[in-house]
Structure 1
Amino acid sequence: MKQLNCIIIDDEPYAHNILKDYVNKVPFLSLVGVFTNPIEALVEIRSNNIDLLFLDINMPELSGIDLIKMLPSGIEVIITSAYSEFAVAGFENNVLDYLLKPYSFDRFLSATQKVLDKLMLHSLKKDQDTKQNTAKADAFYLKTDRGKIVRINFEDILYIEGLKNYCSVFTDTQRHVSLVSMKSLSDGLPEGEFIRTHKSYIIAIKKIKSIDGNLILFENIAEKVPIGVTYRDSFFYMLNKTLYK
C-alpha cells in the first residue's frame, strides 16, 4: 500500500494531539512533522517529499489560505478548522476536503481515503501513459462520487464543470461527478482539443455548435456554457484561427 507523507500545521496543541492520534490509526499515513508556525512548515514542505497537509486556517503570521497559494504543485490539502466560513475559499483553492472541528475519526478517515484514491488513480494513469509510450491516449478513467471507476472517451466530452470540490464531466447522454479538481482534469486533456472558457468550465472545442453573445451552445443538449471575462480574449483568439469571416 502506498504511504502518504503528511504534515500537520495548526497553532493549537490540542488539535495536534487529536490529529496525531488519528494519523497513527491509518496504515497509509506517515507523519513527517507537526508545526504551529506555517512559515517553518513551508520550509519543510519545500525540502521534502510531502503528499498531504492537514492545515488549520486561522493562524498567526500566515493564514492557511495564504499558505495554500504558496505551495508547490502536487500537494493535497485537507483543511481542519473550527470556522465554516472559510470553506468556500478553501474549495476555490482546490483543497480536497474540509474537516470542521470537532470531527470524528470516521470523517477523518473518509477525507484521507479521498487523497489515497486520487493519488492511486493518478499513479495508474501515469503507468498507462508509460505503457502507451508515444501512442496518443483517447480516454481517461474517472472515479465517480459513487465509488465507480468509468472510462470516458475524450471525443465524447462536451464540457467539464467545476463545483467547489467536485467536477462534473458532461457527454451527450451522461453526467459523471467526481471528487477531483479542475486542474487535475485539465492537465490530462489533449492539448488543443479543449479550452477553459470560465473559472468553472472547460469545453471541447469541436463540440461547439454556436456562440450566442457570451454563451456557448452544443448539439443535442439545452445547457449552455458561459464565457467568462477573464477567459474571453484567449477563447476568441483560438476561435479566430478557424473562423471564416
Structure 2
Amino acid sequence: MKCIIVDDEALAVDLLAKYVGLIPDLNLLDSFTDPFKALQYIYNNEVDLIFLDIDMPDIDGFDFMQLVEGKVKLLPFFILTTGQPQYSLDGYEFNVTSYLLKPIPKEKFIKAVQKVAQLKSTYSLPLNKEVGSDYIFVQTENKGKLLRVNFKDINYVEGEKNNISIYTENDRIVLSRNLKDLEDQLPKHLFARINRSYIISIDKISSIENEKVIIQRKDKHIPINIGITFKERFYKQIESAIFTKKIL
C-alpha cells in the first residue's frame, strides 16, 4: 500500500516513518509537516493510506479529510493520530479505520495497518457497472457471492462506519464498502447524496419538505434530512430531473 504521513510534529513523523519501515507491504511515498503541501500531493498522486494527525494548528484532520473527499478518484484510507483521548470514531464516510493515541505503541500501529489491509482486500473487488447498464453487481457479506441489484429497485442507501446498506422495496443488502465508493458508481440522474450518511433514489422521492426528503418504501414514508453541505448540489439535481421530466 502506498502511504503518506501528515503531522505537524517532526518527531511524530519520524516515529511513524520508523514504524512504516517495519512493514514490507507499506510503501512510504512522502511525509509532510505542512498539511496544505500534503493536500497538493494527494491531488496529484495516488495514495492508498494516510496517517493523519487530528490536532494541527492551521487545519485539523477532519477538515483535511473533507478537502480530500471529492478531489481524488479513489478515497484513501485514513488512520488518525492524536494526543487527545476524547475523540470517538466518527467520520466513517472518510474511510477512517482507526484512531491511534500518542505516544503510539508499535503493536497498535501494526494492528491498525492490518485492519486497513483486510478492508482494502475486500474493496479490491470492484463494484461492477457496465457503461449504460441499469444495474450493478455487488459482493455481499457471503464471500464469493455477487448479487445483481437493479437501479430501479433501490430506494435509498445508508452508510454506517465501514458498511453500507442498500434498501430495496423488500430487502436490505449489507456491503463492506464505503458510501463514497458506491456513490461514484451510481448514475447521477437517478441518485443523489443528501447528507454524509444517505444516498437516495430520485424516483423514490414522495415529497421534499422542511429540509427533508420523504422516501416511499412499501407503505412507509421515510424522512431523511438534507445536509447543509449537500443542499445546493441536491437541488440542482432536482432541477435537472424536473427539466428532463423525471419530476412533473
TM-score normalised by L of structure 1 = 0.72
Pair 218,45 (structure 1): closer, same or farther in 2 beyond 3 Å:
closer
In the other structure, the counterpart of 1:83 is 84
Taking structure 1 as reference, are residues 193 and 61 closer, same or farther at Cα in structure 2, changes over 3 Å only? closer
The number of residues matched between the two structures is 230
8 Å contact from structure 2 (residues 80, 99) kept in 1: yes
Aligned to 2:6: 9
Structure 1 residues 216 and 16: alpha-carbon distance in aligned structure 2, compared to 1, 3 A threshold: same
Residue 190 (1) aligns with residue 174 (2):
no
Give the superposition deviation at 1:139. Answer: 1.4
- Within 5 Å, give how 1:12-27 maps onto structure 2: 12=9, 15-16=12-13, 18-27=15-24
Equivalent-residue separation in structure 1 for 2:28 and 2:181 (angstroms): 25
- Which range moves more in the overlay, 80-89 or 98-107? 80-89
- Give the superposition deviation at 1:50: 2.6
Matching residue of 2:147: 151
Partner residue, 2:119: 114
Cα deviation, 1:114-166, whole Å, max 9, x if unaligned, reads: 23432x23xx44xx55xx5x55252132454x867642413332211233554
From the superposition, tell whether residues 85 and 138 of structure 1 become closer, same or farther in structure 2 (CA, over 3 Å). Answer: same
Instruction: Check whether the contact 1:141–1:151 (CA below 8 A) recurs between aligned residues.
Output: yes
SS of residue paired to 2:177:
coil
Q: CA RMSD in A?
A: 3.5
Match of 1:216 in 2: 214
CA deviations over 1:188-217 (Å, ceiling 9, x no partner): 013422233444322223345x33844524
Q: Which runs of 5+ in 1 are unaligned?
A: none
CA distance in structure 2 between the aligned counterparts of 1:14 and 1:143, rounded to whole angstroms = 42
Report the AA paired with residue 84 of structure 2: Y
* 1:206 equivalent in alignment to 2:208: no
> Cα–Cα, structure 1 residues 111 and 22, in superposed 2: closer, same or farther, change >3 Å?
farther
**Cα 1:224–1:44 shift into 2, 3 Å:** closer
Distance change (3 Å), C-alpha of 1:211 and 1:23: same
Identical amino acids, percent of aligned pairs? 29
Cα deviation, residue 55, structure 1: 0.7
Q: Tell me, yes or no, if the aligned pair for 2:89 and 2:98 is still in contact at 8 Å.
A: no
**2:8 and 2:33 in contact (8 A); partners too:** yes
Task: Work out the CA distance in 1 between the residues paired with 2:27 and 2:120.
Answer: 13
8 A contact 2:155–2:215 mirrored in 1: no
Task: Tell me which protein shows more helix as a share of its residues.
Answer: 1
- SS of the aligned residue for 2:98 comes to strand
Task: Give the corresponding residue for 1:100.
Answer: 100
**Which residue identity lines up with residue 54 of structure 1 in the other structure?**
F
Per-residue CA deviation, residues 14-60 of structure 1 (Å, 9 max, x unaligned), is: 54455335434544321112333323434543454333211111123
Name the amino acid aligned to 1:96: V
Structure 2: unaligned runs, 5 residues or longer: none
Show the counterpart of 2:46. Answer: 49
Amino acid corresponding to residue 147 of structure 2 in structure 1? R
